[in-house]
Amino acid sequence: MEKIVPEFLIEKLESQYEKEDVEKIVNGLKEAKKTTFRVNKIKSNVNEIENVLKENNISFSKPDFYEDAFILDENSENKIKSLDIYESGKIYLQNLSAMMPVLVLEPKEKENILDMCAAPGGKTAQIASLSQNKAFITACEKNKIRFDRLKYNLEKQGAKNYNLMKEDSRSLSDYFKFNKILLDTPCSGSGTEGVFSENFSEELITRITKVQEALLKKAINLLSTGGEIIYSTCSILKDENEKILEKFKDKVKIVPIPKFEDKNINYLPSSDGTLTICPNSYYEGFFIAKLILL
């Protein structure tokens, strides 16, 4: 069945991007995504994973920007899921774009880090992996089913030094303060295959922007002096990205993020210092910004 990008989304994109970029976005949304994963450094290393893949005749390539990431050739997802490296949590299946916010966050030993919208746990586990379980992580998820999935994934990945809170992070007391905050906020999914879902609508975008605004307001209140917020979405709509940041320009400023280098990545125009990634077969559409208090 042909994938049809909703007309209202095309109209929104045409109001924000040049015609050439809109064509790239629409074509990229329709492309099947490659299976990608990253190594969990708590339990394994790149050499071990490369050897296992070669032993099982699974061909792969690697993106230029992240040594721990792997791109599998077609029809390898079921095979990789049958291996012990998957079952034991030595790897984590994750889109390349979704790996980037934590790389920008750069979690370090003894930092007090909040993951505001943590389920299903991929980015929380990546924080633990990159910090070798030496960062102090607080992860929030209000939905019980998603909370249970978050807990399961963190346990499977061997994460430690974390505190799980089954509550809406908007309800956290401003008494709490964090060195770094990851706000990978709920979004419309306009950079993903979610645009082909019957749930994708203009009403969803309108509703979700209110949530994003409230979450960022809370993140600013929870940030320690000298700390930073990584704001990210899997949306390519400025309503959910630059326009949300614009509402807080009197409280935070954008710290420019260097572009990730990879031959398969395409960037879309975005405000100075932020990154907007165009969807294609390797990457989901994504937005990332680094913010500090004024």
Contacts with 99 (C-beta within 8 Å, 6 or more apart), sequence order:
38, 66, 69, 126
Residue of 117, 140, 187, 234 with catalytic role: 234
- Backbone dihedral angles phi then psi of residue 161, each to the nearest 5 degrees: 60, 40
Contacts with 267 (C-beta within 8 Å, 6 or more apart), sequence order:
259, 275, 276, 277, 278
Which regions of 73-205 does DSSP assign to beta strands (E)?
Answer: 91-93, 112-115, 136-140, 162-165, 178-184
- Known catalytic residue at 187: no
Nearest to 157 by CA among 187, 122, 184, 193: 122
- Residues known to be catalytic: 234
